[in-house]
């Protein structure tokens, strides 16, 4: 009995706080994405030959985000029926966008306006029990190009 009560409390807490944190995180992601629009992200491996930047440097951004109790429960249900696990999709989406934003912030601090050869790497670094995903880390990195006409 006590187990069930604890389970329900955790579920409610996870749902409430998880939802709150996710909406506020998405709001801040959207706001910052707007602010960093000026920095171009280009996934090609080499910049065009006629582009000679003043300086290039590696920039990176990383974030570790944990999934909440409620979503993990939903995902374990999904494991029975199969199909899209939307609760994890939003987790990874948030993590990727956040990592990219942090990389962009680093690029802006250098005065760069383009980042080439973007690589995204995802690792699940923390396992909950029974090997469920606890938290994912996303690392975004690339090479920032600082143009000639701007100061670092």
Partner 1 sequence: MLISNLEIVPGRQVLKHLGLVQGSTVRAKHVGRDIMAGLKNIFGGELVGYTELLNESREESLGRMLEQARAVGANAVLNVRFTTSSVAQGAAELFAYGTAVILDDEA
Residue numbers at the binding site for partner 1 (CB under 8 A): 10, 13-14, 17-18, 21-22, 25, 45-47, 49, 51-53, 56-58, 60, 62-69, 71-72, 98, 116-117, 119, 121, 123-128, 134-135, 137, 139, 141-143, 145
Nearer to partner 1, 82 or 131 (CB): 131
CB-nearer residue toward partner 1: 52 or 82:
52
Across the strands, what pairs with 138? Answer: 63, 122
Shortest gap between Cβ of 44 and partner 1 (angstroms)? 10
Report how far residue 100's alpha carbon sits from residue 94's, in angstroms, rounded to the nearest whole number.
Answer: 10
The minimum distance between CB 78 and partner 1, in angstroms, equals: 17
| 90 within 8 A of 22, measured Cβ to Cβ | yes
Q: Which residue has the tokens 């944990």?
A: 66
| Nearest distance in Å: CB 42, partner 1 | 11
| Nearer residue to partner 1 within complex by CB, 36 or 73 | 73
Minimum distance of partner 1 from residue 135's CB (angstroms)? 6
Structure tokens at 69: 């109790």
Sign of the CA dihedral with 32 first, then 126, 20, and 75 last: positive
Alpha helices by DSSP H, listed for 36-121, are 69-81, 86-110
Q: Which is nearer to partner 1, 82 or 90 (CB)?
A: 90
Task: Decide whether 49 or 82 has the Cβ nearer to partner 1.
Answer: 49
Distance of alpha carbon 91 from alpha carbon 64, whole angstroms: 10
* Residue 7 beta carbon to partner 1: minimum distance, rounded to whole angstroms: 11
Parallel, antiparallel or unpaired: strands 55-66 and 133-146: antiparallel
């Amino acid at each position: 009995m006590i187990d069930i009560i604890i389970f329900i409390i955790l579920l409610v807490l996870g749902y409430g706080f998880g939802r709150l944190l996710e909406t506020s995180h998405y709001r801040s992601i959207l706001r910052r994405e707007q602010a960093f629009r000026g920095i171009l992200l280009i996934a090609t491996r080499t910049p065009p030959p006629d582009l000679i930047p003043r300086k290039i440097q590696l920039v990176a951004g990383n974030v570790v985000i944990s999934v909440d109790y409620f979503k993990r429960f939903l995902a374990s249900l999904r494991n029975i029926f199969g199909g899209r696990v939307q609760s994890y999709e939003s987790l990874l989406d948030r993590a990727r966008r956040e990592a990219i934003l942090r990389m962009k912030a680093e690029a802006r601090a250098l005065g760069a306006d383009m980042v080439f050869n973007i690589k995204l790497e995802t690792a699940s670094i923390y396992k909950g029990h029974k090997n469920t995903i606890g938290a994912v880390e996303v690392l975004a990195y690339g090479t920032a190009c600082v143009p000639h006409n701007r100061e670092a």
